[in-house]
Amino acid sequence: MTRSASGHEKRTPWREIVSVRLYADPARDRPWRYVFELQPLHKRKITIDNAHAVGRGDYEDRSASYTPFVRAALKQLAAENPKARALMAETQKRYFFLMLFGILAMGALALALAALPTPPAMAEWAPLAKFALVLALLPVFWAGILRVIPRGVPLDQIPARALPPEGGAAETAATS
């Protein structure tokens, strides 16, 4: 159930939720903020976080009730819609731009190596060595890209880092 600012209530059945996303999203005035997004089929996402607005620019950490709520919601969602998946961290769109940046950075490295002046004594084999270095870095680059691809995980395999610590996120941040 969601409630708008005007007080209008709207219920979304669990079977319509196709995916959830859990991530830490610290802000300047709430460094302990965690977010739980539910994505219904063909509707706007529903966002729930552990920050409660007490006043203007003043927030309260509600991790003590947020974490059990999210765990119960995930359990209910798994029962109602076993095909639903949980995404961790980056969205597909943000990952695309990060990957694009990585490809451009790899291209800039190759261009810098090609433009790097070589001493006359190494002029015969330097272009081949530069090309070999770029080719040697490609598998490392692609392994890194493939390792960080956002993948869904089953709802019963949510890692502990996706939710606030048991003692509350604000308390844990204050002690570290």
- CB of 82 closer than 8 Å to CB of 93: no
Torsion on CA atoms 49, 14, 88, 23, rounded to nearest 10: 0
Which SS3 state, helix, strand or coil, does residue 52 take? strand
pLDDT tens profile 14-30 = 888 888 888 888 888 88
Rounded to two decimals, the pTM is: 0.63
pLDDT tens per residue across span 32-56: 888 889 989 888 888 888 888 888 8
Mean pLDDT is lowest, of 42-46, 64-68, 80-84, 155-159, for 155-159
Cα separations (Å) of 43 from 18, 46, 65?
Answer: 10, 9, 27
Ranking 93-97, 100-104, 108-112, 149-153 by mean pLDDT, the lowest is 149-153
The answer, yes or no, to whether residue 75 has pLDDT greater than 50, is yes
**What angle separates helix 92-115 from helix 126-147, to the nearest 10 degrees?**
170
Query: Two tokens at 165?
Result: 């610590």
Q: Tell me the average pLDDT of the chain.
A: 81
| pLDDT of the residue at 176 | 44
